[in-house]
Each structure stands twice: as C-alpha cells, then as structure tokens.
Amino acid sequence: MTTIYDSIRPIVWRNNKLYLLDQRILPKEYTEIELLNAQQVAEAIRDMVVRGAPAIGITAAYGVVLAAAIRHAEDPANWKQLIQQDIKVLAASRPTAVNLFWALEHMQQKIDAIDGNPFEILKTAADKILQDDIDANIKMGRLGAQLIAPGSKAVLTHCNAGALATGGYGTALGVIRSAFSDQRIEHVYADETRPWLQGARLTAWEMVQDKIPVTLLAEGAAASLMKQDKVSWVIVGSDRIASNGDVANKIGTYALAVLARHHGVKFMVAAPTTTVDMQIAHGDAIPIEQRSQDEVLSCGNTRVAADGAAAWNPAFDVTPAALVDVIVTEKGVVENPTTEKIAAMMNA
C-alpha cells in the first residue's frame, strides 16, 4: 500500500493570522513567522521566507484575506477599492511564478461578487486553494511515479519542488515520494542549487524527514553522475510553463535537460495546471527575475568572490519543450509536449 508522506506544512492559518515556516534558516532552525497584513506577506515572498510557485500563490491568497479584514474594518463601504493597493503590492513581490497572479485573480473574482463582510468568503477561498494544491500534488505524485520503471534505483532533482514549495507533499518530490513508497526507486540525488542552496538546505531536509536516502552533489557533478548511469530520470518542478510546453524553473534546470538528453536520461516536469500560462506562447516571453548580485558574490552572509567582481544572477532559466520528455499535472500526463497537447490537457 502506498505511504502518503504529508507531515510538512509550510503555510498555516491559525487564530486569524498567517504563519509561514521560515525557509531561509532551514535546516538549522524550524521557525514560523507571524504575518498580519498584505505588506508583510509581500515582503515574506520577496525575501524568500516562502518560495516555490504553488506556495507563493497560496500565501498571496491568504495575504488577500488579511488585507480584506483590515480594509473592511477601516471602511466597510469602500473596502473593495482600498484593497486594490494591497493586491498590487502582492502582485509586485515576484515576477516569474504565475501561480501568484492566478491566485490573486481568483481572489479578485471572489471580491467582485461579495456583498457584505468579506472575511469568511475569502478565507474559505484561500483554504480551498491550499487543499486543492495538496490534493493535486498527491495525484501528480501517483501519475508521475507510474512512469518510473520498478527497480530504477535513483533519480536526480534540482532546487526544491517539495512540500516546502507547495501546500504540502510537493510536485517533483511528490513524484519521488510516491515512487519511493512504491519501491520504484531506492535513492535520490539532489543538486545543491546555488546560490540559495535550496537542494542542500530544503530538499535534503525533506528527504531526511521522510527517511528517503538522499545524496547531495554540486551542479557541476551532474554530467558525471549521468555518465556513470546512476540515475534514470531527472525530475523537477516549474514556476511557469508556456502554452507550447517550454518550462521556466530554477536556474540550472536547462543545463540538466541538455545533459539528460545527451546521456539518454529521461526528463520529467511535475507541476499543477495553475503553473501553465496559456497566455504565453513560448518560453522567451516568460519574465525572468533578476536577483541581487550579493546572492552570488556571497555564501550566506560571507563574501566569497574577489572584491571588484560583478555577478549575473537570474533566478530562473527556460527549458525548451523539445528537451522535456513528459509534463505531469493533476489533469494527466503530456509526453513530448507541444502547443496542441498542452491545450488538450488544459481543456480536459
């Protein structure tokens, strides 16, 4: 029987306040941050307290709940107008994760239809976004795991597309959790993922919590790992998928896809349909967030680069659909994605 690993919850609503697990200080400390308004939520998203496209969207939805409670208390007659500034602040927090904008648009539709106190309606809507994400991840995990042949031994993942990047269970790590539970794989390799080290700090931590054997490697070691036939699949998440199947994900994903194709390793993207942006025709149109040079020039709070050196720090890159063997969503599996196949999946 499949074991469901669902003990890690990075986003919690408690006593009419939003609490986020501070992912900046994991695995050294397990600390929740209390958030009381939309400005604090936006800052938490921007400062990487919470990260991962689905988790950002869920967090933003609860940010709207907090904002609505405050604005309605301030001015019951005009709260709908006042909350627009809060929604703009939330929308500006990070540009690449399409789930952020999907969640805000969903909450705006609820706002437009409300007559009276908005709190319960918006809180229920945010709760549903959270639960739907967890349910979708569990379904995705099962669908993706079925593509991995029993006895495949090991897979490689990049960044963190686990429970910490979602409402719970995870996208790429959801597939890995299901595959391990079904005894299709025995081991996980995880890229460290510079400059924020999400693989080292977060993915490794999640796997250790679930007692799934995990080995870290520097990104530069991935080619040698594949050459030695150590992994059968690369499994990653996504922050935005264009309508043709091009995939924006953490910087370094594109390189893994190129290496995987050269070495005959399959490449899987696991993401909810809220990550698919049907308004964008191809990956070149996806906005790529440029973050501070200091993240590359330093490790933690310690500068490691030579004084006077500059850094280029795109947070994401785009993997062409031609290098993707399969995209797995809660609606199904798309092999060798194309515009037509993505559209058919979204309309299913």
Catalytic sites, residue numbers: 239
Instruction: Provide the token pair at 18.
Output: 């939003």
Report the chain's C-alpha Rg in angstroms. Answer: 20
For residue 320, which of 236, 267, 246 has the smallest C-alpha distance? 246
Contact of 160 with 127, CB cutoff 8 Å: no
CB-based contacts of 95: which residues, under 8 Å, 6+ apart? 287, 289
- By three-state DSSP, how is residue 323 classified? helix
Amino acid at 17: K
Contact of 311 with 210, CB cutoff 8 Å: no
CA distance 326 to 225: 21
Task: Give the other-Cβ count within 10 Å of 6's Cβ.
Answer: 16
- The residue whose two tokens read 């539709």 is 109
In the chain, alpha helices (H):
38-46, 53-74, 79-91, 98-113, 119-145, 172-181, 198, 204-209, 222-227, 253-263, 294-297, 339-346
Amino acid at 236: V
